[in-house]
């Protein structure tokens, strides 16, 4: 396919490279000067998008998505797929999709899970909102960039799935870190704690696959000084999106709200900015009950 790719940062760059390596003709654009193997760079987002069968965006927030969409939608070819892989608010995703549909485009909101490692390895999971025809056309690209793509329903539902998933992830990581800090103070060895919980009713992805305790379980960012695999800043962004959506939907999410407040304090008032979201463990290690 002829693909335009806008937003070639830590996630978008490897995704575009994987598409190019698979033989697709990829034209890219980013506001920063970047060079991606196999990707031809365009001088503007509009020029990267014009005449392409699929245009993929990976952008920081809903406001930037809306601005980029306003630039590229008018120049995209009729029947093309506008595939947005950003994580943004549901309202922005649905507004952009509605505008794209009015112009004869097939819009998909397809945020991802798997982090930078998943983008590099082509093992991302895509949560996709939009029409079935657009999903079918984009499916071969999902298969290159990821290991799984789930069609979640109409436009906006991909974002809904992402923020619900990450609200669970944020809350479970916090309580996993709390539990390790409590185990330390009770004299329970961390390896014994992992061996019990990872095979008992307390198991979770945060414990079993991404353990926040160094030297315990599979290798994770905890074993690399908490260098981000998924930054606490990004977790805070997603948790805030979850609470924005909960407010709009009149949904009661007290644990989601508490997780948001804790990550806000960690990132904005403490030393969490630029660290992995599992670095909550050393935070709790140094704190007492008060």
pLDDT at residue 218 is higher than 90: yes
pLDDT at residue 187 is higher than 90: yes
pLDDT of residue 115: 84
Q: What is the CATH number of domain 2-153?
A: 3.40.50.720
The C-alpha angle 229, 192, 197, rounded to 5 degrees, equals 65
What percentage of the chain exceeds 70 in pLDDT?
100
Helix (H, G, I), strand (E, B) or coil at 108: strand
Compute the average pLDDT of residues 33-61: 96
Compute the average pLDDT of residues 261-289: 96
* 217 token code pair: 């379980």
Cα 35 to Cα 8: distance, rounded to the nearest angstrom:
9
Assess contact for 212 and 179: CB atoms under 8 A.
no
* Global confidence as pTM: 0.91
Residue pLDDT, tens place only, 77-90: 999 999 999 999 99
pLDDT at residue 289 is higher than 90: no
pLDDT at residue 290 is higher than 80: no
Cα of 231 vs its chain's centroid, Å: 10
55 Rama sector, left if φ>0, alpha if ψ -120 to 50, beta otherwise? beta
Domain spanning 160-286: which CATH class is it, in words?
A: mainly alpha
Spatial CB neighbours of 254, under 8 Å, sequence gap ≥ 6? none
Question: Active-site residue 162, yes or no?
Answer: yes
Average pLDDT of the chain, as a whole number? 96
Compute the average pLDDT of residues 5-33: 97
Burial 70-87 (b: 16+ CB within 10 A, else e): eebbebbeeebbbbbbbb
Catalytic site residue from 2, 139, 148, 162? 162
Cα 201 to Cα 16: distance, rounded to the nearest angstrom:
40
Which uninterrupted H or E stretch holds 54? strand 54-57
* 16 token code pair: 């575009």
pLDDT at residue 140 is higher than 80: yes
105 Rama sector, left if φ>0, alpha if ψ -120 to 50, beta otherwise? beta
pLDDT at residue 117 is higher than 90: no
Compute the average pLDDT of residues 210-234: 96
Which uninterrupted H or E stretch holds 147? strand 146-153
| Residue 276 pLDDT grade (very low, low, confident, very high; cuts 50, 70, 90) | very high
CATH 3.40.50.720 residue ranges of the chain are 2-153
Compute the average pLDDT of residues 6-15: 96
| Residue 226 pLDDT grade (very low, low, confident, very high; cuts 50, 70, 90) | very high
pLDDT at residue 189 is higher than 80: yes
What is 157-225 written as a DSSP string?
HHHHHHHHHHHHHHHHHHHHHHHHHHHHHTT--HHHHHHHHTTSTT--HHHHTS-SSTTSSS--GGGGT
Cα 265 to Cα 67: distance, rounded to the nearest angstrom:
30
SS3 content of the chain, % helix, strand, coil (to 5): 50, 15, 35
pLDDT at residue 178 is higher than 80: yes
pLDDT of residue 255: 98
Compute the average pLDDT of residues 59-68: 97
CATH 1.10.1040.10 residue ranges of the chain are 160-286
pLDDT of residue 116: 86
């Amino acid at each position: 396919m002829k693909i335009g790719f806008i937003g070639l940062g830590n996630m978008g760059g490897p995704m575009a490279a994987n598409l190019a390596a698979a033989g697709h003709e990829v034209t890219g654009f980013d506001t920063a000067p970047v060079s991606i193997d196999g990707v031809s760079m365009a001088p503007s987002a509009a020029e990267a998008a014009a005449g392409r069968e699929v245009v993929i965006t990976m952008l920081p927030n809903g406001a930037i998505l809306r601005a980029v969409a306003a630039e590229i939608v008018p120049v995209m070819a009729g029947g093309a797929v506008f595939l947005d892989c950003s994580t943004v608010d549901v309202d922005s995703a649905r507004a952009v999709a509605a505008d794209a549909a009015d112009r004869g485009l097939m819009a998909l909101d397809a945020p991802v899970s798997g982090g930078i490692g998943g983008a590099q390895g082509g093992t991302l999971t895509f949560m996709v909102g939009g029409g079935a025809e657009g999903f079918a056309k984009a499916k071969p690209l999902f298969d290159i960039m990821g290991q799984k793509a789930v069609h979640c329903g109409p436009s906006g539902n991909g974002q809904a799935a992402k923020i619900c998933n990450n609200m669970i992830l944020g809350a479970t990581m916090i309580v996993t870190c709390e539990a390790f800090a409590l185990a330390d103070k009770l004299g329970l060895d961390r390896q014994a704690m992992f061996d019990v919980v990872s095979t008992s009713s307390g198991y979770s992805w945060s414990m079993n696959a991404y353990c926040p305790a160094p030297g315990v379980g599979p290798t994770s960012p905890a074993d690399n000084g908490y260098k981000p695999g998924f930054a606490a800043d990004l977790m805070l962004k997603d948790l805030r999106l979850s609470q924005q959506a909960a407010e709009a939907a009149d949904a009661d999410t007290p644990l989601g709200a508490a997780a948001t407040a804790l990550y806000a304090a960690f990132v904005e008032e403490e030393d969490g900015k630029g660290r992995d979201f599992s670095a909550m463990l050393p935070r709790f290690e140094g704190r007492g009950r008060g």
